[in-house]
């Protein structure tokens, strides 16, 4: 027995090969959209956490525990790296999903071939990824400055 979306889609697109192709096409499209949502949510959470952590770290006086400041800065660096890693992994899935959608558009003879049109016209080195890398570099630089300041405080103590 089918439940939820599977039952709905079965009734709408039928049980034949074309219906299964349309169902796979719909799933490929949904996977592509979901991938971007994952990337945006991870970036927002991590960048928000980085900003908050930086705010607390900047309040720590030089005569306080600088070892913990360095540990917190390293955590910030790893969190920033996590955004890039999730982006890279999620884009692997998205690329496969869009390849499948383009293949189905060809095999099912879709008249408008949306995924094929997007693929032909969208910049290959995504502008979104360039911005993600840029902001991540800003956080790397900020955390490096925090570590340098903490080391200077340790050496002057």
Per-residue pLDDT tens for 42-91? Answer: 999 999 999 999 999 999 999 999 999 999 999 999 999 999 999 999 99
For residues 44 and 132, is the Cβ–Cβ distance under 8 A? no
Listed by start position, the domains of the chain span 4-156
Q: Which tops the pLDDT comparison, 103 or 47?
A: 47
Measure CA of the first residue to CA of the last residue in the chain; give whole Å.
71
Name the most confidently modeled range: 2-11, 14-23, 134-143: 134-143
For residues 76 and 68, is the Cβ–Cβ distance under 8 A? no
pLDDT at site 18: 65
For residues 57 and 146, is the Cβ–Cβ distance under 8 A? yes
Tens of pLDDT, residues 17-44: 667 778 888 888 898 889 989 999 999 9
The pTM (predicted TM-score) of the whole model is 0.77
How many Cβ atoms from other residues are within 10 Å of residue 50's Cβ?
A: 22
pLDDT at site 29: 87
pLDDT at site 16: 61
Tens of pLDDT, residues 110-140: 888 888 888 888 777 678 889 999 999 999 9
- Residue 43: partners with Cβ closer than 8 Å, 6 or more residues away: 83, 87, 132
As a whole number of Å, the CA-based R_g of the chain is 23
pLDDT at site 116: 81
């Amino acid at each position: 027995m089918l439940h939820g979306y599977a039952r709905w889609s079965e009734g709408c697109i039928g049980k034949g090969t074309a219906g299964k192709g349309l169902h796979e096409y719909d799933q490929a499209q949904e996977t592509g959209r979901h991938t971007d949502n994952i990337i945006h949510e991870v970036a927002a959470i991590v960048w928000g956490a980085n900003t908050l952590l930086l705010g607390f770290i900047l309040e720590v006086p030089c005569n306080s525990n600088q070892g913990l400041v360095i540990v917190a800065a390293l955590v910030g660096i790893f969190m920033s790296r996590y955004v890039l890693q999730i982006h890279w992994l999620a884009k692997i899935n998205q690329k496969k999903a869009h390849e499948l959608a383009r293949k189905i558009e060809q095999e099912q003879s879709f008249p408008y071939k949306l995924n094929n049109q997007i693929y032909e016209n969208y910049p290959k080195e995504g502008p979104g990824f360039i911005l993600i890398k840029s902001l991540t570099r800003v956080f790397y630089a900020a955390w490096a400055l925090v570590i340098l300041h903490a080391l200077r405080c340790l050496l002057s103590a």
